[in-house]
Amino acid sequence: MKTVAQFAIAREQLLDEQGRLTGEPPAFAADGEQLRRMYRMMVLCRMFDAKAVNLQRTGRLGTYAPCAGQEATHVGVGAAMRAEDALFPVYREYGTQLWRGVTLTEILTYWAGDESGTNFAGPRHDFPWCVPIGSQAPHAAGAAMAFRIRGQARCAVAYIGDGGTSEGAFYEAINMAGARSLPVVFVIVNNGWAISMPVSAQTGAQTLAQKGIAGGVAGVQVDGNDVIGVRAVMEAALAKARAGGGATVVEALTYRLSDHTTADDATRYRAAEELQAAWKIEPLLRTRAYLEAQHLWDQTQEDQLRAQCTAQIDEAVHAYQSRPTPSTDSMFDHLFANEPATLTAQRDTARRHPQRGSHTG
């Protein structure tokens, strides 16, 4: 018997857990302002995340999906993308979206149940948040097919969680991307948990990156808490896709420091020791350690940044809370060119009931 196929999955890490370089830094890492910009965005995400959770806990926001611990993956991906590329998020990739121009107020508006929050100030071609698990992956493959047909040097980037890689839609997207050598990158955010289901109970695969291999799509792992490594891997994958080299699956290994959503209680299924260990290697700590070692950051800059973030977040919250409460009609708009009678009846029923509450409380 002979071997007819074999594969290997490489793993990239450029900043270790103590914030020390482990290899040759990519070109962008020589630009101190680029590194500071990425760190600033990561801090803004962390502070906004805490504020959004507080708003939900005090009844001023709907169910919210926190992103604490995953900032390096999100910002590293966003920094690697071009404006003309198209993003297909799940529902917590705020760092990528903020980098690309989505506003804090839009994020809050969406999680208050107002779909106008997806009317992004950022790239108009980026897709909205996707709550159904996995359906964004075929959308991204389809967009990449359109880019190929039109001869455009654009890429699609689709996020998916570790649990989402168990969905059929993910494999269908991989198959299409591999068969047609499409310009798309699938970013698996492996944060260890699909709500309460650990990765070890989800799959027998050694890595999630290898799930693309059967479809002819290359896979690579990266330390998802290493913003320099994530950006470097993404830049390589996007450059390959733009040059006609096809798709890539990038598995970013990170950790969810918070609950899955504000409707979840992770203490019911996750050991406290595991969470404590994760806090010691989270992305903000190591990025700041590296910047300080390179004399690119100090405590004065940290204090100024946090004051600026607080002001920016407060302004966004004020704008969000000052928005008029949407009419119930907004639930029915933009669904059909010719509204069916059943939907018209529902619209009329909603109008007859007084509105209760609002996105402000």
Distances (CA, A) of 6 to 2, 210, 213: 11, 11, 10
Helices then strands, each counted (H, E), the chain: 12, 8
192 DSSP β-pair partners: none
260 is annotated as an active-site residue: yes
Q: How far apart are CA 281 and CA 254, in angstroms?
A: 10
Q: Choosing from 74, 92, 154, 260, which is the catalytic residue? A: 260
Burial 267-296 (b: 16+ CB within 10 A, else e): eeebeeeebeebeebbbbebbbbbbeeeee
Q: Are 56 and 297 in contact (CB under 8 A)?
A: no
Contact 75, 95 (CB under 8 A): yes
256 is catalytic: yes
Q: How far is CA 313 from CA 225, 293, 336, in A?
A: 24, 29, 36
Of 46, 60, 74, 256, which is the active-site residue? 256
Q: How many CA atoms lie within 13 A of 1 on its CB side?
A: 2
For the CA atoms of the chain, what is the radius of gyration?
A: 21
Kindly list the distances between the CA atom of residue 156 and the CA atoms of 46, 81, 186, 361, in Å, as whole numbers in the listed order.
26, 9, 8, 37
Active site includes 94? no
Residue 129 near residue 89, CB atoms below 8 Å = yes
Reported residue count of the chain is 361
Alpha carbons 9 and 7: distance in angstroms, whole number? 7
Helix (H) or strand (E) holding 353: none
Torsion of CA 215, 219, 224, 226, to 10 degrees: -160
Of the residues 20, 57, 269, 318, which is catalytic? Answer: 269
CA dist 93 and 77 (Å) reads 10
Residues recognised as catalytic: 256, 260, 269
